[in-house]
Amino acid sequence: MVDRSSPNAAPPGRPPRQPLSAASLVFRLGGIAVIVAAVAGAFAYVHGNLDPQRLTPKALVDVLEKNNGVHPGFRRNHAKGVCVIGHFESSAEARAFSTAQVFNLPQTPVVGRFALPAGNPYAPDSAVPIRSLALRFTQANGQQWRTGMNSMPVFPVGTPEAFYQLQQAQSPDPATGKPDPTKVPAFFAAHPEAVPFLTWVKTAKPSASYATETYNSINAFYLVDGNGKKQAVRWSMTPLAQDAAGATAPEGADFLEKDLVQRLAAAPLRFQLNITLANADDPVNDASKTWPANRKVLNAGTLVLEKTQPQLSGECRDINYDPLVLPAGIQGSADPLLAARSAGYADSYLRRTSEVSQLPAAKQEARP
């Protein structure tokens, strides 16, 4: 997941991007895999720039730009979204596992962002079957918890190297301007760890509302209690809306933001923060592996979203939703994708914030 932002309409003269074709499984799997990989943001090791033989944030963000196109001033992925403002109401269930104030005080303010996982800020909302939600919790002591979550349950691969290979497989051939259709199937044939993800992709459908999706951390983290004891966890935000099953997305460009604005005009939206506790033998450092469904789940509290803001001028605009910005009481795991995401988000943020001069004057005043 690169850091996020976008406008709401295609520029003059540019036709809307067509949704992914369901007629070709190869292109569907390949296209979604690329988008999902960008969602989770496996973008090289934090210190990869010290070794030219290792992947660097620059190399991986470069390949995203090659595949998605360059849109100056905008996030390199999750480019289309909307800001949301609200708060988190904690329950008592996570307090024994973590000293973080977000779990130990009644309320914590939140600035979030719903987004479409695509690098093109003008993509139609029905283009991909994935939605994302990023949140920044600001504790009373000034410490922050930032998290980026996605509606897919598992990541296709477990390493930045594999992610980069997947991006390369999807890159356009200079001779044709299109990806080689043999490369993505060859990649997946060489990566059996992608089977759970591919199984999900075959039945995934884009929802008609941001409000009806469950958003998953995918990567694992640790909760740390007052004695320094660590508990490996993954978390999800589960909607409490009565129509949480959702409807399939209609064809069209911009229905997600409109739906969200209408819902919040009627009443706040609520999501339950469910924290899954790993057993000692569960894989913690590999986001391509699931945990058994019978693991203990804590109801850590309720996210209450109260209003939207345009992402061009809203509070989420300049936030880098780096998943390793964590308060005392929460720690990152050794999953290499976490360090990769952190490094890639920083690279993307620096690129878009240095491109203000390339935007029209009106957009410079409310840059993404």
Q: Where are the alpha helices (DSSP H) in 240-322?
A: 255-266
Rounded CA-CA distance 313/83 in Å is 9
Terminal-to-terminal C-alpha distance of the chain: 16
Q: Which element (helix H / strand E) includes 38?
A: helix 25-40
Tell me, yes or no, if 78 is annotated catalytic.
yes
Partner residues linked to 147 by β-bridges? 135
Rounded CA-CA distance 78/234 in Å is 22
For residue 317, how many other CB atoms are within 10 A of its CB?
A: 18
Q: Where do the DSSP E strands lie in the chain?
A: 80-90, 107-116, 132-138, 144-150, 215-216, 221-224, 230-239, 269-277, 297-309, 330-332
For residue 264, how many other CB atoms are within 10 A of its CB?
A: 18
With CA atoms as reference, report the closest residue to 280 among 327, 229, 336: 229
Rounded CA-CA distance 334/219 in Å is 10
Rounded CA-CA distance 73/96 in Å is 43
- The two beta strands, 107-116 and 297-309, are unpaired
Annotated catalytic residue, options 47, 78, 87, 191:
78
| Residue 58, token pair as written in the block | 């620059």
Rounded CA-CA distance 17/80 in Å is 13
DSSP 8-state code for residue 205: -
Catalytic positions, written as ranges: 78
